[in-house]
Amino acid sequence: MSYADFQNEVYLKGLFGEQPTQPFGWRETEAAAYEAMTPGAVGYVAGGAGGEDTMRANREAFDRWRLVPRMLRGIPAQRTHQTTVLGTTMPAPVMLAPVGVLEIVHPEAELAVARAAAAAGLTMIVSTASSNTIEDVAAQAPDASRWYQLYWPADRDLAASFVRRAEAAQYEAVVVTLDTWQLGWRPRDLSQAYLPFLKAQGVANYFSDPVFRQGLDKTPEEDEGPAVLKFVGLFNNPTLTWDDIAFLRDHTSLPLVLKGIQHPDDVRKAREIGVQAIVCSNHGGRQVDGAIGSLDALPGVVEAAGDLPVLFDSGIRTGADACKALALGASAVLLGRPWVHGLALGGEQGVHHVLRSFLADLDLQAGLAGHSSTSELSPASLQRIG
């Protein structure tokens, strides 16, 4: 069975009177999700930094590249898109981007997402700022592949503890987010004075960590106020440098991936210090306003990376988007907001619906453009129009 067969399943069910309960277009899904969410959650999920110019730049960058379909190439009906990144085998070059504080979207938060990702066979990257612990998320799908995303706190021992816990819970790589050592200026959140961390949301990994709990007069369960204040004092860490990556390497045997890189010189530095992969990303436009769109940065990043795998994040909405990023050299793409919208609409089932829809779209786009596999995509598959 191919991913594209999902559309046949939908049409056949319709023949017998069963209509879909969720939309398929990403704009319709987004709109329905925001109707279902609280105003604070909408601002947090939908918003970006400043005037949200970087968010717009992410989407506009995709419009400047167009697929050029090729005909009569004997494309098989059952296509395969399997790939391997850092030893993680994937049925398609798609991963779930790390997104934190999911309890503001759905009460089952990461637990529902982990089950849905496992059902689709996709690797979930679990955020440090998750609403459930590293261990509890892993327990939802013990046999599934998963990576861990690290927000590096201002306490090195705490950072090392997070990574040790991820390794013990059989996460397969550590993704270090570089661009969020301090929260960006986010007017949507500011207008509602909404920061869920201050309500002890998205802090499960901190509150459960033995290093974090040291020095608290009372446990977070007994008195969460001081624990929240301690979290606030630890989250920001503007002093990080390239030398800190060496410290992290000494505390884990897992592959290290650096997320948030867009400049070729930073790519070259990452290669020098021996990381295993990078993620070309601007955090979905949530950090630096007026920054370059991720897809515009991707060709230069890929060129500088050489044989270093480059994953792509920021702005992916459709199968066509994924095809464009893969054609420009990405080893895999990270899907973010779309599955969060699915979570808001239907929990585990909602996420699974979005993932199946995205994979079907990707399969069809690649096949109809004349490729038996997404691995055949290259810059020759595209034309730049602007």
Active site residue ranges: 283
CA distance 313 to 332: 9
Identity of residue 231: F
Q: Which residues pair with 311 in a beta bridge?
A: 279, 332
Q: Which residues pair with 280 in a beta bridge?
A: 261, 312
CB-CB neighbours of 246 under 10 Å: 11
C-beta separation of 349 from 299 below 8 A = no
* Angle between the N-to-C axes of helices 337-368 and 26-36, in degrees from 0 to 180, rounded to the nearest 10: 170
CB-CB neighbours of 274 under 10 Å: 11
Please name which of 280, 355, 292 lies closest in space to residue 319, comparing C-alpha atoms. 355
* Angle between the N-to-C axes of helices 294-305 and 53-63, in degrees from 0 to 180, rounded to the nearest 10: 70
Report which secondary-structure segment, H or E, holds 258: strand 256-261
Q: Which long-range contacts (CB under 8 A, 24 or more apart) does 17-24 make?
A: 21/346, 22/342, 22/345, 22/346, 22/350, 22/353, 24/357
